[in-house]
Each structure stands twice: as structure tokens, then as C-alpha cells.
Structure 1
Amino acid sequence: MREIQASEAKTHLPQLLDDVERGDVIVITRHGRAIARLIPELDRRREEIDQAIAGIKALRKRTSKVTVEELLSARHEGHRY
């Protein structure tokens, strides 16, 4: 989660929306007070979670044993949470 001033959010809205689409949560502030929170759409987030679970299940079928390190590595590849 990161914070950004309202005036800066207005200027950089397209980039902020791209960041939220990738899973970032952004708090918009005015005079140091939080006034809004941009969060990913729930349906989209659910889809990403379902894809991650499917990927883990596919990995488990291809290998006999998967270490915790391998699972964490696969979780972090190409995803920002």
C-alpha cells in the first residue's frame, strides 16, 4: 500500500490505475489525511487468485515434491501483491 497526494493522483491517474490493476492498493491523501483508497476490483482479484491456485496444482502434478521455497518463488514471479 502506498500513499499519494490528491494533486499528484490527479496528474498521474492513468499510471495509478495501471498499478491498481496489477494489485497495488493506493491511498489518496489531502493535507496528510487519507480521503480515498484505490483497490483492485474483487472479481479481477479472484480471477488472479484462481489462476495462481491452478498454477500451483499443475506444478504439483508435474513434480513429486515441491519445497516451500519453490512455491514462494512461483508466487512472486511476475506478480505484484
Structure 2
Amino acid sequence: MTLESTILKNISKLPESIKQSVLLYTEFLVSQYAKETPEEPVEAIPNKPRLAGSMKGTFVLPLPDDFDEPLEDFKEYM
């Protein structure tokens, strides 16, 4: 007995309401499988080597004196 025939045999024993649930679940599984296996292969993005100091000048330094003080927006939670 094949897998498909065993599944169909078991489904035929179920009430109609459960058969509807089985249908919805199999449609969900098919859609999930389609998402996992794309039809067109996705090209891998090559990893570029990281450069030390590439973020230099991005951050504002020195930090303000009140940097560690609580923000006004969160006073009601404290």
C-alpha cells in the first residue's frame, strides 16, 4: 500500500468537518513548502571583508553631560 492510498483511506474515515480541516492544513503545508523552495535560485551575496575604522566619525563625541539621565518620555514609568 502506498503512502498516498493510506492517507486517503484514513481521510475517508473522518467526518466532513474534519476533512475540511485536513484540506486547509494541506493547503497550508503546500504554501509553506513553496516558500522554502523558491522557483528561481537566489544568488548568494559575497561577503566583503570588514575594514577596521570604517565607522570613524559616525558617532557624535563627546557625549553630553546628561547622557545617563532618564528621558522625559519615561518619567511616568519610573
**TM-score bracket for this pair, using the shorter chain length:** 0.3 to 0.5
Higher relative contact order (CA 8 A, sep 6+): 1
Q: Which has the higher strand share?
A: 1
Q: Which has the higher helix share?
A: 1
Give the TM-score taking structure 2 as reference length.
Answer: 0.35
Give the TM-score taking structure 1 as reference length.
Answer: 0.34
